[in-house]
């Protein structure tokens, strides 16, 4: 049975497999992808995390999703907080539906039963309510109270065994919420079918929410940490881009077709253009003309009828359009028609996985074949965890190649350099082509120069050539013979 066939919001596993345990889709963007399709139904799960990590919001969002599908959901609280106060906290989210409360979604407090009768009394209450209400999902909030309930005629391990058997027999997917962190060798962690942790990563003054699946029995889940945010819609999870790319295992194809970079005099120097589907890095000092060269590349694609996309971090769309007009490129009409779109994002506090998703969704939706990423430094700066920068970029560039998108990426060099820059050792994994744009002293005049540091599958002119910028845009001139060397600080 196919992976997307649904029966009452429950899906079977991958094609060609006979899954005995159906998967229940949570309805939360990105979460089902991390879980390998959803939560194996009728099982017992522990969602843990310190106060404020988002446990209750996540569980309520799953619950309302099931209730909206016609499922019955029971929310059992073991804390002194009133149900009215809890519902008030989640009422601002889009997933909240007041009409479902009291009908499809029932609220119940187990605090008094636990306090007066211990674990055995709580188990009796749960058994009675499951038999009476017959819910498809049970959420127990404040499960730490169970561990802190003190001596009982029923110890914690026996309680966990009994609860697991009960929910399995009743085919009731059950979620326990506990304010702890770490995959500890405790009864809660070892006797449940899945352990999911919400946490926070702090980098300087920035705080990023993270989710990690320690285990889910019966599911092929993604390992490692993934980022998420809580917004007006509720919880939105962004699977770690490198992890999804590794699982997809896309292999880029090959192409013998060359596409123009939009500057005829430079096309002539590099053998007719760049290979279709390749990635080119424009490396150079600030103000040397990298963005303008990228705009020439995009304009050529627009003239050829291609769908194009610009992703930028520093210059707003209006400024880019003005810069293009000043160099003789009229792109406003293409923006109005939708043939050209721009994603502009200040490189501040945002999630790199979110940006990658928006970028690739735009490419897939519109059939984009030309892309300009103006400022890879901005892209690097939004990857909060430094160890992710290289694998994230490797995964992103591989995805672009697999989609057949011909891409230009601008990368900035510092003003002050004592020698000619050397290509980064990792650039061979990121770029097929590297072009160097720099200032030089030509006599007593400060001039611009362009050269090829790397160009795959092309025969090209290896000379350093002068580059002129005028109201007609960029024009490549003759060899830069007689230049006295790189200009310092552009002077």
Decide which of 146 and 426 is more confident.
Answer: 146
What are the CB-based long-range contacts (under 8 Å, 24+) for 380-386? 381/347, 382/345, 382/347, 382/348, 382/350, 382/351, 382/352, 382/355, 383/352, 384/201, 384/203, 384/206, 384/208, 384/352, 385/201, 385/203
The string of pLDDT tens digits covering residues 94-150 is: 999 999 999 999 999 998 898 888 899 999 999 999 999 999 999 999 888 887 776
How much is the pLDDT for 143?
Answer: 86
Average pLDDT, integer, range 276-299: 95
Domains of the chain (ranges; CATH) run 6-239 (3.40.50.300), 258-486 (3.40.50.300)
How much is the pLDDT for 168?
Answer: 94
| Position 423 pLDDT exceeds 60 | no
Decide which of 289 and 457 is more confident.
Answer: 289
How much is the pLDDT for 419?
Answer: 57
How much is the pLDDT for 139?
Answer: 96
Mean pLDDT over the full length of the chain: 88
Average pLDDT, integer, range 178-202: 85
Confidence of residue 361 (pLDDT cuts 50, 70, 90): very high
Decide which of 425 and 4 is more confident.
Answer: 425
pTM: 0.84
**Comparing 6-10, 131-135, 222-226, which segment has the lowest mean pLDDT?**
6-10
């Amino acid at each position: 049975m196919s992976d997307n066939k649904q029966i009452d919001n429950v899906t079977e596993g991958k094609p060609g497999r006979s899954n005995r345990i159906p998967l229940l889709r949570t309805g939360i963007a990105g979460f089902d992808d991390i879980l390998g399709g959803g939560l194996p139904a009728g099982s017992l799960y522990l969602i843990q995390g310190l106060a404020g990590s988002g446990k209750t919001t996540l569980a309520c969002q799953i619950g309302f999703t099931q209730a909206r599908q016609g499922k019955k959901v029971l929310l059992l609280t073991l804390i002194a907080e009133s149900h009215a106060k809890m519902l008030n906290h989640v009422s601002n989210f889009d997933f909240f539906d007041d009409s479902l409360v009291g009908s499809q979604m029932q609220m119940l407090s187990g605090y008094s039963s636990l306090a007066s009768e211990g674990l055995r009394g709580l188990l009796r209450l749960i058994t009675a309510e499951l038999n009476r209400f017959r819910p498809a999902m049970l959420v127990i909030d404040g499960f730490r109270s169970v561990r802190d309930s003190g001596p009982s005629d029923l110890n914690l391990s026996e309680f966990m065994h009994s609860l697991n058997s009960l929910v399995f027999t009743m085919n009731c997917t059950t979620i326990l919420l506990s304010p702890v962190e770490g995959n500890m060798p405790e009864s809660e962690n070892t006797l449940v079918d899945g352990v999911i942790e919400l946490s926070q990563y702090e980098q300087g003054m920035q705080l990023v929410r993270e989710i990690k699946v320690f285990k889910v029995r019966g599911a092929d889940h993604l390992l490692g940490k993934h980022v998420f945010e809580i917004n007006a819609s509720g919880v939105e999870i962004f699977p770690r881009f490198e992890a999804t790319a590794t699982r997809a295992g896309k292999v880029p194809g090959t192409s013998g077709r060359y596409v123009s970079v939009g500057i005829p005099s430079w096309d002539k120097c590099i053998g007719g253009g760049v290979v279709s589907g390749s990635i080119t890095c424009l490396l150079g000092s600030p103000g040397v003309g990298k963005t303008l060269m990228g705009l020439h590349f995009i304009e050529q694609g627009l003239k050829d009828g291609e769908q194009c996309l610009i992703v930028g971090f520093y210059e707003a769309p209006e400024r880019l359009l003005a810069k293009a007009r000043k160099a003789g490129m009229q792109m406003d009409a293409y923006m109005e028609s939708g043939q050209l779109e721009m994603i502009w994002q200040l490189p501040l506090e945002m999630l790199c996985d979110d940006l990658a998703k928006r970028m690739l969704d735009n490419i897939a939706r519109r059939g984009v074949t030309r892309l300009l990423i103006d400022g890879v430094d901005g892209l690097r700066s939004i990857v909060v965890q430094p160890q992710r920068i290289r694998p994230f970029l490797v995964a992103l560039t591989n995805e672009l190649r697999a989609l057949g998108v011909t891409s230009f990426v601008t990368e900035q060099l510092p003003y002050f350099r004592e020698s000619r820059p050397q290509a980064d050792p990792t650039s061979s994994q990121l770029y097929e082509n590297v072009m160097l744009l720099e200032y030089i002293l030509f006599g007593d005049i400060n001039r611009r120069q362009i050269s090829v540091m790397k160009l795959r599958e092309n025969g090209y002119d290896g000379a350093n050539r002068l580059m002129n910028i005028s109201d007609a845009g960029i024009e490549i001139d003759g060899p830069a013979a007689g230049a006295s060397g790189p200009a310092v600080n552009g002077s």
